[in-house]
Structure 1
C-alpha cells in the first residue's frame, strides 16, 4: 500500500530552513541598538543555529560582504547608483535625496524612511531570503564593462521593490559598504563558538581564523563537523595568514632587559606590510588587512617569481617606495600613489619603484614554519631568497648591549626607516599569527623633527645612474662647509626633485670640476663613483636633520661617533650660482637647525 504524502508539511519544512532576509535585518537592528558585546554574541549565535544551509550567506551579509577580503571581490556600487535606485523607488528627485544625505549622513536610514512614507506597496512583492539577496549581490559584483551600471541598478531595484523598510536600510548599507553596526570579526568568532560549542572554545575558532580568515567558511565547518574539526585546518598558500604584531617599550634598555640581554634587531621599514604567497608559478600579494593587492604591484609579482627559490611559500615583508638611482628609501606617502590605481600603472611603477624587504617565512615548500624559532625561520628565508634590485632581505643583526642597539637604530633612521624591530631569538620565538606579544617589540621615536628652512649644499661627488638614469648621474653627494677647518663634510645623497632635463644637464655642468679622486678638502666615509672640486651649490629642502653614523657633517659634536644628515632631501630647482662653495650652509648653521627643529608628535598606527 502506497503511503500518502502530505505536501503541505514538506513545503512548511522547506520554507523553514530558508532564512528570511527580514529576520537578518531585524537581528542587525537589535545589534545596532546595543553596545553590549555579549548581547551581540547571543543574537548572532542564535541566528547561526537556525541558518543551516544558508549559514555561509548569512555570515557574509552580517559582514556586509559577498566574499572574503583576500578574494578581492567587491560590490562596486557607487553611492550615486543607490541614490538613483531610491529616487526611482520613491518618486523623489535625486537632488532631494542628496540633500537629505547631507543632513542625515545615512543613506540606509533615508531609504527606510522613504519606504515607510510610501502610500502604496506592491501586491506582487516576493519575500526576500538571505540566499536570494546574497545571490543578487554576487551577480552585481561580477558585472563590469559597458552597460554594467544600468544592470547593477536594475538588480538593486528588484531587491528594494520587494523589501520591507528595515530591509531597505541594510540593503543600502551593504551595497554602499557602510554597515554601521559595529560587529567586529572577533564578535562573530565568539558567536560561532557559542552557536556550535561553548564560549570557552572561542580560542579554537580564533586559531582557525588566524590561518583561514574566512568566517562564513569557518561557521559552515563548525556547524557541519563541530568546533573541534577546525583544528584540522592547515596553512595554505593562497589564503593569507593574519599578521603577527609587535608590542612596544619606551627604551632600548627596557627592550634589552625584556629580551634577557640578547636579541635580533631589524630595520623597521616605513612601507606597506605585504604577505607574499607563491603557488608554483603564481604569485599573490596581501595587505595587513588581508586585501588582495596583487594587481597593484605587478613589478613585485614578477620579481618574486625569479627571487623565491621554492615551489610554494608564504613570506612576510614590507613594500617600501624606493629611489633605485640613489639607493635610498622614499617617504611612506609615495606608496599610497600606487594603491588602488587602475590606470597609468606602468608609468607610476617607473616613477615610484618599490622594493620588497622580506623578514619572515611562515611556510616553505609545504612545511609550516610558524612553530619554528625565529633564528631558524630567518635562516630558511635567507636560503630561499636570491636578492635582486627589488627583492631584498631585511637588514638585521644580533645585539647584546644598548650601545650597539642605539648605533643600529640611528643607522636605520638615516636609511629612511621609522625605527627598529627587536625580535626574540629564544626557542619560544615562534610566529604567532594575529597575536601582539613581546616576542616582537617595536621601537621608534615619538616625534619627528621638521626642517623649517632650505639649505644650500655643495656637490662633492656623484653616483652612476641606473634604469632611465643609466649613463648619467643617479644621485649627488652633498656637503656643508666647515669654516673653522676649511673642509667640506657630507650631509646627504641627493637624487630627488630633478627634472629629466636637469638630470641630462648634470654631467655637462659638473664636467669642469671633475676629479680622478676625492678633493683633499672633502671628508667622506662614502665612496662616490665620481668626485668633483667643491664648486656647484644647490638649494635643498629636507624632512628633518637626524643623527647619522655615516655622514661626516658635525661628527662627534652632537653625539660621540655620530654626524648629522638631512633625511629625504629634495632639490628645490634652484641653482645657487650666486654663491661660492665656501658661502654654502656651514656646520654651525646645521647644528643650530638641528636644535631648533620643531617637534611633531607621530601617531602610532603600526
Structure 2
C-alpha cells in the first residue's frame, strides 16, 4: 500500500464529523486487510501510536529536528513558515511545495517503509543519534508529496490532529472486519494496542485476549457518587494509580497511562519481587514523608499526587528523595498466571490476601492490601469517612462484592464517595459577579460563630443543581452591603447549609474547600450557625 493512501485518508478524516471519521477509516482498513501484514501498521499510522506505550520507546525528536530535516530539502525560509503556521505538519506541507526538482522523480512512498523508518528512529542512541534521526526524516521528506510530508511530520511528533480516538477506531475496525464492537472494546481493555487488536480481530481470535504478565491492561473506571449501599468500603488516599505486575523474581510497575515507571521505583520493585506469588494488581502508589509536628514529635504524612508525580519524573534522583514510596493494592486482575477479572470481587479479594498477606499499618514500605470494612448503615459510613480523613484519605471506594473487574470500562456498582462535611454558616457578605454569558451570580461570604462574634471562613457560589435557589438570590439582593448582613445579633439572617470537601488553616485563619450550597434558610439567627471549633473536627487538606 502506498503511503499516499493513508495521507489522503487522514486529510479527509481530519475534516470529517465523528460519524464520518469512522466511515472513512473503515474504508481504508478494509483495503489494508487485503494485505494481512499491513493492517497493524496502518492502524498505528492512523493513530500516531507506532508502538504500545509500555514498550518504553521514545521518538526523541521535536520541531527543531523536523525543521533540520526540511532545510536541505526545500528552498524556502522555514522560520517564516514556522512563525505563520505554528503546526509543523503545515510547515512541512508548505516547505515541500518548494522542494528541489531533482527530488521529484523518486519512487512513491511505501506505507510499510514509512512505518518501519519512523519506528527505527526510536532505536537510535548515542552522540550521533540526532544526526541519524534527521537523516531518516530527510530521506522520507525527499520522496514525500506535500500532503504526505504533513502527516509524516505529525506522526513523528505524535500529534496527528485527526480526532481518531480509541472509540472511533474500535467503531471503524468493527465495521471494516465485520466483528462485534463490544468484543473489540473488551479486548482493547485487556490489551490496549489497537494495531494488535485489529490483527486479532482479522484472525477471529479476540476471545484469546486476556491479562498477560508485563503487558498492562486498562484500569477500571469509578464514578464519584454520594449513594450508600451496605457493603465493602476501602479508604482512597492521595497518590498515583498504577498497575503492578509480579512474575517470577521480577516486578514491573506501570502508570495509569500504561508507561513503565519501574526504573524510578527500583527498590520497590525489588521488594515486590521477593514475594512468592505471581499477580497483576490494581494499586495506588503512595508516599510517606517524615516531618515534625508543632510540638516537635515525629510524624508521617501521605504525599499528594503531584508530589508523587514529581518523584517519578526525577527517576534516578528519586533515590535521594526523603519520600518513602509504597504500594497500596485495591484489586487483583490476575493470580498465578490466570486472568481472574471475571471472578466476583470477594473472591479476588481473598486471593489478594493470600498473595500479599493482611493489610499493614501506615507508614510501611513495600506492598500491602488496602484496608477494607463492611458498613451496614449511613452512620457507619460517616464514622469511617471521618476516620479515613484523619488518616489522610480523600474518600472511600465502595465495592460490589459480586462485581467483576471491567478493564477500561466504567464499573456498574463500584464508586467513590468523596469525604464531605455539612456545616451551617451565616451569610455576612454578598458579591455580584457577571459571567461571560451575561448572567449575574452571587458569591456569598460566610462565617461561623466564635462566642458572640462571626468569623469569615470563605466564599461559596456553587449550588446543588436539583434545587431552586431563586428565593436565596432574591433575599441576597436585599442585602445592599456587607454591613446589612453584619447587622445586630437580632437581625434576620441567611443561613446556608454547605457541603465542604475539607478545610485549610493558615495560622489562626480557616478557609473552606470545595464548598457547595445544599440548602438555606432565610429566617435564621446567629445561634443557628455552627461554632468555629467545629472545624477542628475536620481534617485539614
For the aligned pair, the TM-score class normalised by the smaller chain equals 0.7 to 0.9
Structure 2 matches for 1:328-477, cutoff 5 A?
Answer: 328-342=301-315, 344-347=317-320, 350-386=321-357, 389-425=365-401, 427=402, 429-444=403-418
Deviations 1:193-219 (A, max 9, x none): 111115xx1001111111111111121
Is 1:83–2:67 an aligned residue pair?
A: yes
Is 1:208–2:176 an aligned residue pair?
A: no
How big is the shift at 1:157? 0.5
Task: Tell me how far apart the structure 2 counterparts of residues 264 and 220 of structure 1 sit (CA, whole Å).
Answer: 40
Task: Tell me how far apart the structure 2 counterparts of residues 92 and 447 of structure 1 sit (CA, whole Å).
Answer: 63
SS in 2 for 1:337: helix
Q: Which residue of structure 1 lines up, in the alignment, with residue 430 of structure 2?
A: none
How big is the shift at 1:239? 1.4
Of residues 203, 225, 234, the one that matches 1:266 is 234
Task: Tell me how far apart the structure 2 counterparts of residues 278 and 56 of structure 1 sit (CA, whole Å).
Answer: 29
Q: Which is further off, 22-31 or 290-299?
A: 290-299
Is 1:197–2:181 an aligned residue pair?
A: no
How big is the shift at 1:446? 7.9
Q: Which is further off, 232-241 or 176-185?
A: 232-241
SS in 2 for 1:297: helix
Q: Which is further off, 146-155 or 438-447?
A: 438-447
Deviations 1:212-266 (A, max 9, x none): 111111212222x23xx211223211111111111232x3xxx22xx3xx11111
Is 1:309–2:293 an aligned residue pair?
A: no
How big is the shift at 1:441? 1.0
Q: Which residue of structure 2 lines up, in the alignment, with residue 234 of structure 1?
A: 210
Q: Which residue of structure 2 lines up, in the alignment, with residue 106 of structure 1?
A: 87
Deviations 1:497-524 (A, max 9, x none): xxxxxxxxxxxxxxxxxxxxxxxxxxxx
Deviations 1:85-139 (A, max 9, x none): 2233224455434423xxx331101210121244635144221111101111111
Q: Which residue of structure 2 lines up, in the alignment, with residue 21 of structure 1?
A: 3
How big is the shift at 1:566? 5.8
Task: Tell me how far apart the structure 2 counterparts of residues 66 and 72 of structure 1 sit (CA, whole Å).
Answer: 12
Q: Which residue of structure 2 lines up, in the alignment, with residue 36 of structure 1?
A: 18
Task: Tell me how far apart the structure 1 counterparts of residues 312 and 232 of structure 2 sit (CA, whole Å).
Answer: 31
Deviations 1:336-367 (A, max 9, x none): 212333552422xx333222111111111023
Task: Tell me how far apart the structure 1 counterparts of residues 248 and 194 of structure 2 sit (CA, whole Å).
Answer: 27
Deviations 1:512-560 (A, max 9, x none): xxxxxxxxxxxxxxxxxxxxxxxxxxx97999789xxxxxxxxx96799
8 Å contact from structure 1 (residues 66, 75) kept in 2:
no
Relative distance call for 1:413 and 1:46 in structure 2 (3 A) is same
Deviations 1:12-65 (A, max 9, x none): xxxxxxx1111001000010011232x222222221222222111111111212
Task: Tell me how far apart the structure 2 counterparts of residues 567 and 334 of structure 1 sit (CA, whole Å).
Answer: 17
SS in 2 for 1:234: coil
Relative distance call for 1:24 and 1:278 in structure 2 (3 A) is same
Give the root-mean-square deviation of aligned CA atoms.
Answer: 2.8
SS in 1 for 2:101: coil
Task: Tell me how far apart the structure 2 counterparts of residues 97 and 447 of structure 1 sit (CA, whole Å).
Answer: 56
How big is the shift at 1:286? 1.5
SS in 1 for 2:72: helix
Task: Tell me how far apart the structure 2 counterparts of residues 404 and 342 of structure 1 sit (CA, whole Å).
Answer: 42
Task: Tell me how far apart the structure 2 counterparts of residues 282 and 344 of structure 1 sit (CA, whole Å).
Answer: 22
How big is the shift at 1:180? 0.8
SS in 1 for 2:218: coil
Deviations 1:181-201 (A, max 9, x none): 110112111222111115xx1
Relative distance call for 1:129 and 1:342 in structure 2 (3 A) is farther
Is 1:142–2:126 an aligned residue pair?
A: no
Structure 2 matches for 1:558-577, cutoff 5 A?
Answer: 563-564=536-537, 567=540
Q: Which is further off, 438-447 or 180-189?
A: 438-447
SS in 2 for 1:70: helix
Q: Given the two structures, how large is their TM-score scaled by the length of structure 2?
A: 0.74
Is 1:46–2:35 an aligned residue pair?
A: no
Relative distance call for 1:88 and 1:416 in structure 2 (3 A) is farther
Unaligned runs of at least 5 residues, structure 1: 1-18, 450-482, 485-538, 547-555, 569-606
Q: Which residue of structure 2 lines up, in the alignment, with residue 73 of structure 1?
A: 57
Q: Which residue of structure 2 lines up, in the alignment, with residue 300 of structure 1?
A: 268
SS in 1 for 2:243: strand
Relative distance call for 1:164 and 1:447 in structure 2 (3 A) is farther
Of residues 245, 249, 266, the one that matches 2:221 is 245
Moved over 4 A (4+): 445-449, 539-546, 556-560
SS in 2 for 1:264: strand
8 Å contact from structure 1 (residues 60, 67) kept in 2:
yes
Relative distance call for 1:140 and 1:448 in structure 2 (3 A) is farther
8 Å contact from structure 2 (residues 280, 335) kept in 1:
yes
Q: Which is further off, 81-90 or 334-343?
A: 334-343
Relative distance call for 1:397 and 1:559 in structure 2 (3 A) is farther
8 Å contact from structure 1 (residues 545, 564) kept in 2:
no
Task: Tell me how far apart the structure 2 counterparts of residues 156 and 448 of structure 1 sit (CA, whole Å).
Answer: 60
Task: Tell me how far apart the structure 1 counterparts of residues 507 and 215 of structure 2 sit (CA, whole Å).
Answer: 46
Task: Tell me how far apart the structure 1 counterparts of residues 62 and 367 of structure 2 sit (CA, whole Å).
Answer: 37
Q: Which is further off, 388-397 or 126-135?
A: 388-397
Unaligned runs of at least 5 residues, structure 2: 292-298, 424-449, 452-505, 514-529
